[in-house]
Amino acid sequence: MSSSIPEYLRQSVKVKETIDGVEVNSFRVPPHKFFVNEEITYLTLPLNVDEKVIMNKINELKLGRKTIEKLYAIRLDADPWQYNELELPDLLSNEIDGTAMENKGNVIYSVYIHVNGIKNFLKIIAFKYVSYVEIDIIRLAGYRGGVIRYLIHF
């Protein structure tokens, strides 16, 4: 029996990337609206909440509540008329290290993530506004980069 209610949390497609001779376990990120399990870890870091909180917010989308939104996930090296999926390293299946940055203004979280010895593979930054938090994940290593932007309403 199929349901007409869409599932917003989906399984990811796993990929192995080789960047500067280093192998990285990654996953493909849906371009908008939908989430994959590995993205939840990325959202728990700047929000400092349990994964269940993020999963509940994603599940509320089925009820028409916009408590969490993925605005877009784009590769910056892609031709505007050609779609290439953005990949992110799986934080649980690679060697991860980080360098915290100073938070200024409305920045509540800012860190560079190093993956398998590749320095500054990505940057995660969170901005606090009156009614929501914006989280940006910026991929810096490998191809010319990419950006994922989320809005979390509290």
pLDDT, tens digit, for every residue of 67-94? 999 999 999 886 766 778 899 999 999 9
**Res 67: pLDDT:** 94
Of the pLDDT bands very low, low, confident and very high (cuts 50, 70, 90), residue 4 is: low
CA separation, residue 127 to residues 36, 107, 132 (Å): 22, 4, 9
β-pair partners for 126: 109, 135
Query: Closest Cα partner for 112 from 126, 127, 123, 103?
Result: 123
**Res 76: pLDDT:** 87
In this predicted structure, the answer to whether residue 107 has a pLDDT above a threshold of 90 is yes
In this predicted structure, the answer to whether residue 3 has a pLDDT above a threshold of 60 is no
For the segment 38-51, the average pLDDT, to the nearest whole number, is: 96
CB 69 within 8 A of CB 134: no
CB 102 within 8 A of CB 110: yes
**Res 143: pLDDT:** 80
Query: Closest Cα partner for 58 from 12, 7, 92, 13?
Result: 7
**Res 101: pLDDT:** 96
Q: Is the dihedral of CA 56, 59, 62, 68 positive or negative?
A: positive
